[in-house]
Amino acid sequence: MTVRLTGPLAAAALVLLGGCGGTDLGGAPDVRGIDLETARVQLEAAGWEPSAKSDALFGVIVESNFAVCDQNTPVGKIVPLEVSKRC
């Protein structure tokens, strides 16, 4: 059985599949996999402002205890980071 996509359905499939290649970092340094403290220094040195979202009950208290698990597309100069003690 062959499925042929045409018109708007084909365009929607391309948009959805096009995002599978990775996150658009918008020119921000890739800080995934390093500790939050180092990531903050690197981003700020490059002119970006990190915004960390944590899974910890009380949030981020000691940055060096957290690693950057994921980095999302910047919004303006703000770089959303997902951080955790265990990625």
17 has a pLDDT exceeding 50: no
pLDDT at residue 22, rounded to an integer: 65
Is the model's pLDDT at 21 over the cut of 90? no
Instruction: Answer yes or no: is pLDDT of 13 > 90.
Output: no
- With helix as H, strand as E and coil as C, how does 11-65 read? HHHHHHHHHHHCCCCCCCCCCCCCEHHHHHHHHHHCCCEEEEEECCCCCCCCHHH
Q: What is the pLDDT of residue 2?
A: 46
Question: Which has the higher per-residue pLDDT, 72 or 11?
Answer: 72
Element (H, E) at 67: strand 67-71
What's the pLDDT at 47?
Answer: 97
Mean pLDDT value of segment 32-47 = 97
CATH classification of 24-84 is 3.20.20.70, yes or no?
no
pLDDT of residue 60: 93
State whether residue 9 is helix, strand or coil: helix
Q: What is the mean pLDDT of residues 22-31?
A: 88
